[in-house]
Amino acid sequence: MITRGILYILIATLSFAVMNIMAKDISNLPALQVVFFRTFGTFIFIFPYMVYKKIPIVGQQPRFLILRGVVGVISLSTFFLVIQRIPLGSAISIRYLGPIFGAMLAAYFLKEKINKGQWFSFMIAFVGVIVLKGFDLRIDFISLGLALTSAMTVGMVFVLIRYLGAREHYLTIINYFMIISMLVAICSFPFWQMPVGREWFSVVLIGIFGLIGQVFMTRAFQLEEASVLAPFKYMELIYALILGFFFFGETYQILAFAGIALILTGMLLNVFAKNKTKKIQ
């Protein structure tokens, strides 16, 4: 049965996939400029709502909130940069390693345990990256480094959000990320290029679908347990493969596609292994 939470996560992942397609469509623009369009589209709706609802703007943990914002900017900007260089499906697949880095960081900083099943799933995912890099010649070492940087910083974001989740309102956390992203992007203003023609269409859609994805993702996790939603989060990759083929003619050799499948399999096994441990406890 498809619950409202599952429906919302499917809408959110589709929205993010469309946003990524639009970001790839304006590959000639600097990545930080694309980050600005992505975050500004969400900020103009979230900030007035926070003021209206009297949700804390500064928060109780400003240092960690700022750190979450800075790490988030690095993650998003490197991701937008890498999708300008390699196929969208490959970029998203490698970025899916984020939860692995997050689990390792959480084990060190938050003392969360990693079971044997998770370690096995991590190994499968990393093998998938090696296979993907080896058989998709479009992935150069710089692009791989950028994708892994995005994945590692995603893991850091997971840990910071987990730490801040019990201490701050979720909109306060999101708002810090939006403000810091825009400030960093504005610092790169001398390198900006004004969108022309149909690029404005892509710019507007990045903001709109980024907002839709953020809202529906948040609502999904409010309505349903994370363990139920986690497998559906990976639908973003399926959307990306389909949209990448139709919009940019992106195709993959069998072995490169096998690498993507291994990454996806590893991440799904990680979800199931973690859920199994929770049930035993």
Task: Say which residues have a Cβ less than 8 Å from residue 233's Cβ, sequence separation at least 6.
Answer: 9, 13
What pTM value is reported for the model?
0.88
State how far the alpha carbon of 75 is from the alpha carbons of 35, 71, 137, 194, in Å: 10, 6, 24, 24
| Per-position pLDDT tens, the chain of length 281 | 678 888 988 998 999 999 999 999 998 889 999 999 889 988 998 999 999 999 999 999 999 999 999 999 999 999 999 999 999 999 999 998 988 888 888 888 888 888 888 899 999 999 999 999 998 999 999 999 999 999 999 889 888 888 887 788 888 988 999 999 999 998 888 888 888 888 899 999 998 998 898 888 877 876 776 666 767 888 888 998 999 999 999 999 899 999 999 999 998 888 888 776 655 55
Per the structure, the count of domains in the chain is 1
Q: How far apart are CA 89 and CA 55, in angstroms?
A: 37
On the CB side of 56, CA atoms within 13 Å amount to: 12
On the CB side of 24, CA atoms within 13 Å amount to: 25
Helix axes 88-95, 254-280, angle to 10 degrees: 30
Task: Say which residues have a Cβ less than 8 Å from residue 115's Cβ, sequence separation at least 6.
Answer: 273, 274, 276, 277
Say how many residues make up the chain. 281
Q: What is the pLDDT of residues 31-47, one digit of tens each?
A: 999 999 889 988 998 99
- Provide the residue range defining the domain that includes 130: 4-280
